[in-house]
Amino acid sequence: MRYLVKATNNPPLAMPPLALTLDLDDTLWPVWPAIERAETQLHAWLQRHAPATARRFDIAGLRALRDEVARTHPQWSHDLSAIRLESLRRALRQAGDDEGLAQPAFDAFLSWRHRVEIYADVVPALQRLAARFPLVALTNGNADLQTIGLSHWFRSVVSARSFGVGKPHAAIFMEACRRAGAPAHRVLHVGDDLALDVAAALAAGLQAAWVARPDIHAEAEGAPEGTHHVVRDLGELADRLGA
């Protein structure tokens, strides 16, 4: 199966990118296994330190409360940490436990959230790509590349939480291009999400590559018109770019 899709609205492939921006969750590692482990460990932490909260809210209940906070506080849509922290405060308050435990509970969650299993292709591909292009991480999540151990491949990290808005807003893509030191039309954004990564990057004037990993995307179909590459992993992308 061939994954190259001819670009129409964006610059042709004859204009190679000068820099790359990369999504993190589900591009460099599968995110949901890490989240599920972190939620399990969070509940175990609550059983030890806030047993009334653990009794009132099981893992599904804590997740539902987090979703409720996200719905009722759209101003925090760019800050997943704020949403999780507020949901823990609510859970503790409703159960009659000390709300001051929210921060250490969140810290326990975040520690486990960073125990990700990096895809096997990622480190070799990052080594190749970073030797040729400035790399900037661009994420709506709250993963920390330094904690995970990949920060040395990246010139900078632009997170929705620190920037104030997330993908698909064009402004966060423009900030990533600025930090990469290249104009938008010479930056290739690489990510797994067709809407937040591929379509949004193209709309912002960047080139785009869709990483359609088999464990997430059974069929690599449906990329927006103008997508420059559709690949199964970062190694294939490095091959495409001659890195």
CA–CA dist 57, 88 (Å, integer): 10
Q: Which one of the listed residues 23, 26, 79, 192 is annotated catalytic?
A: 23
Per-residue model confidence as pLDDT tens digits over 167-198: 999 999 999 999 999 999 999 999 999 999 99
Q: Residue 186: which of 208, 167, 168, 154 has the closest Cα?
A: 208
- State CA 223 to chain mean position distance: 19
* Domains observed in the chain: 19-30+118-241 (3.40.50.1000), 32-113 (1.20.120.1600)
The reply to whether 97 belongs to the active site is no
CA–CA dist 3, 186 (Å, integer): 21
Q: What are phi and psi of 97, to 5 degrees?
A: -90, 170
Non-local CB neighbours of 85 within 8 Å, separated by 6+ positions? 102, 103, 106
pLDDT over 70 percentage in the chain: 92
The amino acid at residue 59 is I
Per-residue model confidence as pLDDT tens digits over 97-137: 999 999 999 999 999 999 999 999 999 999 999 999 999 99
2, pLDDT greater than 50:
no
pLDDT of residue 130: 98
CA–CA dist 236, 214 (Å, integer): 13
Task: Count the residues in the chain.
Answer: 243
CA–CA dist 112, 220 (Å, integer): 31
The amino acid at residue 123 is V
pLDDT over 90 percentage in the chain: 86
CA–CA dist 47, 1 (Å, integer): 50
CA–CA dist 138, 7 (Å, integer): 22
Which run of H or of E encompasses 240?
helix 234-241
Per-residue model confidence as pLDDT tens digits over 206-223: 999 999 988 776 555 678
Percent helix, percent strand, percent coil in the chain, to nearest 5: 50, 10, 35
> Where are any strands of DSSP class E within the chain?
19-22, 135-139, 156-159, 187-191, 207-211, 229-231
Q: Specify the pTM.
A: 0.89
CA–CA dist 89, 205 (Å, integer): 41
In this structure, how many other beta carbons lie within 10 angstroms of the beta carbon of residue 175? 20
Query: Checking DSSP bridges between strand 229-231 and strand 156-159, what pairing results, if any?
Result: unpaired
- Spatial contact of 220 and 213, defined as CB atoms under 8 Å apart: no
